[in-house]
Structure 1
Amino acid sequence: MSDKIFKSWIVSLMRSQRPLWILVLLPHVSTMHADSQSTISFPEVKGKSLQGNEVLFPSVFKSQDYHMVMVAFEQDQQLDVNTWLPHLETLAASRNDLDFFELPTISRMNVLMRWIIYRGMRSGIKEDSSRKRTVTLHIDKQPFKESLEIETESSIYAFLVDSKGTVIWKGEGVWSENLWEELLEVLPAEK
């Protein structure tokens, strides 16, 4: 039962003047709310950076206290990811405890197709810092999406992840003032 339905049910019980039922149900309201805020952990996946290095997630997150991770599923979503990049670059430059990754996420395919895609992406990105942080995932996307609670591939996702791989914050879509303010609100102060 969703929180919304449950709350309307509680209201109807209150209106029916059955206060004893409310006393019985109140402990379940807070439990239900806590359960709906379950912890998301970044899944174990392996990718290849555009520098040619193998990158293991979430192990790589140990290198900093926090990482922003941008996940995209389609080539044209790079434009959406690009709306975040100047802000992430500025934020990462202002802190010693934060870095970020771009994760183009593609279905598994044969070696030749992976090589063609990898070479095409590499030729389009010249900066070494961008090549280092761009890690292509050729994976079974469904378990990946389920573990990160990604509902659609038609949008990009931004995740703030701690050094243990726990997702602290999740945003969907192009950069906006609202998303940025949400992110900064949950990002702990630098130690």
Structure 2
Amino acid sequence: MNEQSNGVFPQLTASNLEGRQFNLPGDFEGEINLLFIAFVREQQDIVDRWVNEAKTLANSHPKLCYYELPTICKVNVVYRKFINGGIRTEIQDLKARESTITLYLDKMDFRSSLEIPDEETIYVMLVDRKGSVLWRTEGKFTEEKLEELNKALSQ
């Protein structure tokens, strides 16, 4: 899956943990954006490892921004506030809260649009503001995946 370069991030509206609303993918702030799509709480350690690398990459690639996208099924506003509040209390860092955009949506449609076969692991995608997927991988961070990502960033 590492070599795929197709697909488009779907248009949707969501808010970050600070309450800012985004119309995605157009409101992603980078010319290119590294997305960490996770489906269950137990995947957070995998996301955290990737985010550590993303911080370093963003320092050397000024056009790059990164976002954590916890992906949850549609729920009503009360549950959204409860879930976001729980996530927010776990994240002390303002930058991390600003770059965490919780997606409440039909997960099957979302996964289908991005050709994500299951929710067993996280998916990492490099996208532009139009939503074009420029690079993608899945699962735990490895040096090999970082090398592939760096190649994609250099193009």
TM-score (norm 2): 0.93
1: CA distance between counterparts of 2:5 and 2:121? 22
Greater share of helix: 1
Shift of 1:64: 2.2
The residue that corresponds to 2:133 in the other structure is 167
What 5-or-longer segments of structure 2 have no aligned partner? Answer: none
Say whether 1:84 aligns with 2:61.
no
2: CA distance between counterparts of 1:116 and 1:87? 30
Q: Equivalences for 1:39-188 in 2 at 5 Å?
A: 39-61=6-28, 63-188=29-154
2: CA distance between counterparts of 1:132 and 1:188? 26
Higher relative contact order (CA 8 A, sep 6+): 2
Contact 2:35–2:67 (CA under 8 A) maintained in structure 1? yes
1: CA distance between counterparts of 2:5 and 2:102? 28
Identity of matched residues, %: 39
2: CA distance between counterparts of 1:139 and 1:91? 29
C-alpha root-mean-square deviation of aligned residues, in Å? 1.4
Shift in CA distance, 158/38, structure 1 to aligned 2, threshold 3 Å: closer
Shift in CA distance, 89/95, structure 1 to aligned 2, threshold 3 Å: same
Contact 2:5–2:136 (CA under 8 A) maintained in structure 1? no
Shift in CA distance, 38/170, structure 1 to aligned 2, threshold 3 Å: closer
What 5-or-longer segments of structure 1 have no aligned partner? Answer: 1-36
TM-score (norm 1): 0.76
> Where has structure 1 moved over 2 Å in runs of 4 or more?
none
The residue that corresponds to 1:8 in the other structure is none
Shift of 1:38: 7.3
Computing the radius of gyration from Cα coordinates, the structure with the larger value is 1
2: CA distance between counterparts of 1:113 and 1:64? 30
1: CA distance between counterparts of 2:152 and 2:62? 17
SS of the aligned residue for 1:41 comes to coil
